[in-house]
Amino acid sequence: MQPRTEAFRALADPTRRAILELLRTGPRTSGEIAEKFDSSWPTISRHLAVLREGGLVVTERKGQEIYYELNTSVLQDLVQRMMQWANATPERSGSRASHARRTARQQEA
């Protein structure tokens, strides 16, 4: 998979998004992250691996501990990409949006 594809895949899961939200306050160890969730340690470990593969987090080993931190450059790139998509108005997207509005109006009537 391409890096952006892996990043979007990582963002698709609510637990991984919650981990990213937790990391907004700063780096945390894998143990600190795991204790915030009801999931098992192997499950959280897999979520962290997916986030790392997607480039959304970076790790740093300090002694026995591994610290996870947001990779803001990748997140900024994803936001920029999404904004470009939102601003693009290809004909097919426009016609789908028009169709959706018409359908919604018809259902309201």
Per-domain boundaries in the chain: 1-72
Contact 22, 36 (CB under 8 A): yes
Provide the whole-model pTM. Answer: 0.69
- What is the distance between the alpha carbons of residues 69 and 79, in angstroms, rounded to a whole number? 18
The pLDDT value given to residue 68: 97
pLDDT one-digit tens code per residue, 67-78 = 999 998 766 666
Topology adopted by domain 1-72? Arc Repressor Mutant, subunit A (1.10.10)
How many angstroms separate the Cα of 64 from the Cα of each of 31, 60, 61? 11, 11, 7
The pLDDT value given to residue 72: 82
The residue among 23 and 4 whose pLDDT is bigger is: 23
Compute the CA torsion angle 50, 51, 54, 58 (nearest 10 deg): -130
- What is the distance between the alpha carbons of residues 40 and 15, in angstroms, rounded to a whole number? 12
**88: pLDDT confidence band, cut at 50, 70 and 90?**
confident
Contact 14, 81 (CB under 8 A): no
